[in-house]
Amino acid sequence: MKIVVENVGKKFTDAKKKEVTALKDINLTIEEEEFVVLVGPSGCGKSTLLNIVGGLLSPSEGQVYFEGIQGKNPNLAIVFQEIALFPWRTVFENVTFGLEEKGVSKKEREEKGKHYIEMVGLTGFENAFPKQLSGGMKQRAGIARALSVEPDLLLMDEPFSALDAQTRTIMQEELLTIWDRTRLSTLYVTHNIQEAVYLADRVIVLSRHPGQIKAVIKIDMPKVGRDQDQYRSQFEQYSNEIWNLIRHDAHEALKEA
């Protein structure tokens, strides 16, 4: 099973009724158990692309489809940058929301809820409301909510960008451990190059005006342990390569209001 993004383009009409091309000719495939990261400067349309893949936005051209899924309805889950936990639901109720909507039995919901809450390290907080949690813990619940539906494709839209730098580092490590256990096909959006190199099997670099694929970089390092000394120079090489691709666009983005 794989996910194919085929000739996808997206046009918006801006406030001055002018047509803006946000995405153009996007073609990419996410293989089974592959972790693909989209990077690009702000305004390159990476979140737009993720929203199109996630079914929250219609493309102006092209389509996104699952291949080899044998007639079953593809199962998606999104981890949002804004976290988007329901404030009126406890951690457990939030985590099992997707299962509830799938009509999963109460018993199974309890088992899976417990399992994934434990996986993200929130055991003991099942009955807390989101308001009572720290930012990192909230996003852990957001991740557990996405994992609990055991999606065919996991989408993550800058999930850690609202967190402080230290929490972020810890969360990246934890995400990798979790991913290693679940092996879900994943599309991950970030503007953080180190994060991309640390997590990705493949990094897709987008340019802006219009958002197009500038380069696809396969990260040829073992999935776990890229922060170790022996990979330091390789890690830096990848980071520099990506930064050099983005640098010009990032400077341009800065000049815009």
Partner 1 sequence: MENNRQVIKNRVAFLDKKIPTYASVLGITGLLIIWETVCRLQIVPPLFLPAPTAIVTAGWDMISSGELFKNLLASLYRIGWGYSIGAIMGIIVGLLLGFSKWADAIFTPIVYSIYPIPKIALLPLIILWFGIGEMPKVAIIALGVFFPVLINTFSGVKSVDPILIKAAATFGANHFNVIRKVILPGALPTIFAGLKLAAGTALLLLVSAEMIAAQYGIGAMVLHYGNLMITNKLMVGVLLLSFLGLVFNRTLQWLERKLIPWK
In the complex, which residues of this chain contact partner 1 (CB under 8 A)? 54-56, 76-78, 80, 82, 84, 86-89, 97-98, 101-102, 129-131, 145, 149
Minimum separation from the CB atom of position 16 to partner 1 (A): 24
CA distance from start to end of the chain: 42
What is the C-alpha to C-alpha distance for residues 182 and 157, in angstroms, rounded to an integer?
19
Residue 222 class from Cβ within 10 Å (0-12 exposed, 13-18 middle, 19+ buried)? exposed
Paired sense of beta strands 35-39 and 202-207, if any: parallel
Nearer to partner 1, 11 or 89 (CB): 89
Cβ neighbors of 255 (< 8 A, separation 6 or more) are none
Q: Comparing C-alpha atoms, which of 146, 157, 170, 149 is closest to residue 227?
A: 170
Nearer to partner 1, 102 or 218 (CB): 102
Minimum separation from the CB atom of position 89 to partner 1 (A): 8
Nearer to partner 1, 142 or 211 (CB): 142
Can you tell me which residue has the tokens 């309890």? 110
Can you tell me which residue has the tokens 């804004």? 82
Measured at the alpha carbon of residue 233, what is the angle toward residues 231 and 239, in degrees to the nearest 5?
100
| Number of other CB atoms surrounding residue 165 within 10 Å | 7
Minimum separation from the CB atom of position 56 to partner 1 (A): 5
Nearer to partner 1, 45 or 98 (CB): 98
Minimum separation from the CB atom of position 149 to partner 1 (A): 6
Minimum separation from the CB atom of position 127 to partner 1 (A): 11
Nearer to partner 1, 83 or 219 (CB): 83
Nearer to partner 1, 54 or 113 (CB): 54
Q: Which amino acid is at 92?
A: F
Q: Are 153 and 187 in contact (CB under 8 A)?
A: yes
Minimum separation from the CB atom of position 135 to partner 1 (A): 16
